[in-house]
Amino acid sequence: MTNKNLRKYSSIVVDGVSQAPSRAMLRAVGFEDDDFEKPQIGIASTWSMVTPCNMHINKLAEDVNKGTDAAGGKGIIYGCITISDGISMGTEGMKYSLVSREVIADEIETVSGCMGHDAIIAIGGCDKNMPGLLMGMARLNRPSIFIYGGTIQPGPNHTNVISVFEAVGGHAAGKVSDIELKQIEDTAIPGPGSCGGMYTANTMASAIEALGMSLPNSSAQDAISQEKTDDCLQAGEAIMHLIEHDIKPSDIMTRAAFDNAIKVVIALGGSTNAVLHLLAMAHTMKVKLELDDFTTIGKQTPMLADLKPSGKYLMSELIKIGGIQPLMKTMLEAGMLDGSCMTVTGGTIAENLADVAPYPAGQDIIRPLDNPIKKDSHLVILRGNLAPGGAVAKITGKEGLSFSGSARVFESEEECLQGVLDGTVVKGDVLVIRYEGPRGAPGMREMLSPTAAIMGAGLGNDVALITDGRFSGGSHGFVVGHVTPEAIEGGPIAIVRTGDRISIDAETNEVKLEVNDEEIAARLAQWEKPAPRYTRGVLAKYAAMVTSASEGAVTDKHC
């Protein structure tokens, strides 16, 4: 390959007499003569001080830049937005969270597409920026690598951000004092890194590594560690290999690779958000993946990891025993993964795992295949007259496999949270939170505040929650989200009344409103669609374009 062949896109921007103005501007940001002969690597950094998940990523971006330059490329760092789910949770601001995934994908496509970057290395460290970065890279389909910003260290007494949310519920129930709440608030989040359990950030980092779009172990490194620095430095050499061999996301993000990612997410007991994001990523890559594929794959895949929120351990403890690589090797040897899938190393999954050692004897974080926590998936796709378009439940088995109770309806997350804190919610309730879907909210907020308050109040085994919104990876208990059609679209969830009986069965995969068909039809005929909550700006645009949760809540399907 000639040097120009390595510069498939940047040569258009910087070569020739006519591009002298372009070169002049790049000289102002540090380019020298020989830099114009190098492949240009866009380094997308989601650094910001709005959240601890991303507060250290500026340093990681600099490390990536060093590695890229050392390998013979020319790194160009640029910024992408990020928001904080944890900070905005339970507020109107949380409506921007899922929207930010689409904005970030647009940013990657816009900046690297405009500037003629020959390849992209993107660094993410929070729930929505990771799938957003992957979607942007998939759209451009140029050699690309994702780097995870890494996980946070736990606070004292094994605490983390979910401990704070649950302490709020405990405080309302009189189980946590003012002093105890303040102590947890002060110490549970000690520094940089993504939320410490198998919540959405660590789930998506693991999924992306299993997908083949990260270097091995990128998902299982502490945010502040030599291993994470090395991950960033090594990305430069890896991206040059991808450029030289023209290995693109479309060569890596195949249907078989998505199947691998789904199986690893299930084995880890990962977040329900993985369903939403993997559907969206597959759509962007033009890979056929549907909601019911999670059921098919889930029947063959056991849940093995005893990780928070429903389990005992944190990601930092999984890191100490080897991360997800030994798990993937175990699954590969059992015939559960497709080892022929290409990865960003330039080698296959099987080649990457060849020399991986097993977990140390005596560890109990990852169960053996013959002694799973649950014999099949904890991500359960439900259908029925309450969710004819599908819904997603997170059922580990610890909550039981079925629940039946009396509906208590709330028109927003805030109303439900207040109902938990003031004692309105009682044992036997099935809480229904509606008008929180992708279009209805708009933005499909996560219901962490009410679910955490439920757990903190000691009602975790006694109530269920159903919503057309979604859940944080930190949510646990008997929860069903992503109900479609959503309420704003006239789905049956819109006409549920307080006092109606609702049954949920994770064995028959059914969620049922125990009202006869004639009554449901009569209520739907009387239902009136509410006026949109936003008529201008990004939320209004999102509501106008977004698809249902069962289709990944993407905004470019009909373009």
Residues involved in catalysis: 472
Both tokens of 494, joined, read 């819109």
In whole angstroms, give the CA distance from residue 283 to residue 557.
8
The answer to whether 273 and 204 are in contact (CB under 8 A) is: yes
In whole angstroms, give the CA distance from residue 206 to residue 318.
12
* Residue 152 vs residues 64, 71, 196: alpha-carbon distances, Å: 20, 30, 6
Beta bridge partners of 42: 76, 120
Both tokens of 108, joined, read 């990657």
Q: Is 48 helix (H, G, I), strand (E, B) or coil?
A: coil
Beta bridge partners of 44: 78, 122
In whole angstroms, give the CA distance from residue 392 to residue 273.
9
Q: Is 183 helix (H, G, I), strand (E, B) or coil?
A: helix
Residue type, 218: S
Which phi and psi angles does 553 have, rounded to 5°? 55, 50
In whole angstroms, give the CA distance from residue 392 to residue 483.
7
The answer to whether 205 and 275 are in contact (CB under 8 A) is: no
The answer to whether 131 and 275 are in contact (CB under 8 A) is: no
Cβ neighbours of residue 558 closer than 8 Å, sequence gap 6 or more:
545
Q: Does an H or E element contain 332, and which?
A: helix 325-333
Q: Is 438 helix (H, G, I), strand (E, B) or coil?
A: coil
Cβ neighbours of residue 415 closer than 8 Å, sequence gap 6 or more:
433
Both tokens of 242, joined, read 């991808």
In whole angstroms, give the CA distance from residue 256 to residue 233.
29
